[in-house]
């Protein structure tokens, strides 16, 4: 994991926490591409290096993301930075408020079908995934 805060990561995002993605059919479990997101969730947590430097926003929500059309979800899960850019709300330890379960254990995304676009981009084994897992000791 990089030591300096990563501005790109702070607005980039968590994975496709694929918390709901099927685990089967992913092939070799030793291969990063086969990691089971439902037994991980690491990319749903802001990196410590970001938090330590005061960067508390992790998942930026795009204007076209469906979650913004759901007022109930906006009230519960969306927060805005000083520029009024929407982001997912994080808990005190930097974990997305929508994540259910314990990182590294069984997890699921409670808004899987409405999750923002950055969440859909991260793939098991990519840079964000590997960095997020390392930050969580996985
Ligand atoms: S860090 Fe990787 S394995 Fe873990 S939930 Fe995100 S994409 Fe899946
Ligand atoms: S919305 Fe879902 S996939 Fe995105 S960070 Fe939160 S728990 Fe993870």
- 16-37 confidence digits (pLDDT tens): 444 443 333 333 556 887 899 9
- In angstroms, the CA 19 to CA 127 distance is 18
- In angstroms, the CA 87 to CA 102 distance is 21
- Which ligand 1 atom sits closest to the C-alpha of 21? 8
Reported as a single tens digit per residue, the pLDDT across 62-111 is: 999 999 999 999 999 999 999 999 999 999 999 999 999 999 999 999 99
Contact by Cβ (8 Å): 7, 60: no
pLDDT at 42 over 90: yes
Q: How far is CA 117 from the centre of its chain?
A: 11
Rounded to the nearest angstrom, the distance between the alpha carbon of 53 and the centre of ligand 2 is: 22
Provide the pLDDT for residue 33: 78
pTM assigned to the model: 0.82
**pLDDT confidence bin for 45, thresholds 50/70/90:** very high
Q: How far is CA 107 from the centre of its chain?
A: 12
> CA-CA distances (angstroms) from residue 124 to 9, 31, 55, 58, 97?
16, 9, 24, 18, 21
User: Does residue 13's CB lie within 6 angstroms of at least one atom of ligand 1?
Assistant: no
């Amino acid at each position: 994991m990089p030591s300096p805060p990563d501005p790109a990561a702070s607005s980039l995002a968590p994975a496709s926490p694929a918390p709901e993605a099927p685990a089967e059919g992913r092939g070799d479990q030793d291969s990063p591409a086969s990691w089971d997101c439902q037994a991980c969730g690491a990319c749903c947590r802001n990196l410590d290096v970001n938090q330590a430097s005061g960067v508390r926003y992790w998942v930026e929500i795009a204007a076209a993301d469906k979650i913004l059309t759901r007022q109930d979800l906006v009230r519960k899960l969306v927060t805005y930075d000083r520029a009024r850019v929407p982001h997912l709300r994080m808990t005190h330890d930097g974990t997305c408020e929508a994540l259910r379960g314990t990182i590294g254990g069984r997890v699921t995304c409670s808004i899987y079908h409405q999750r923002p676009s950055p969440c859909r981009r991260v793939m098991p084994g990519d840079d964000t995934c590997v960095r997020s897992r390392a930050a969580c000791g996985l």
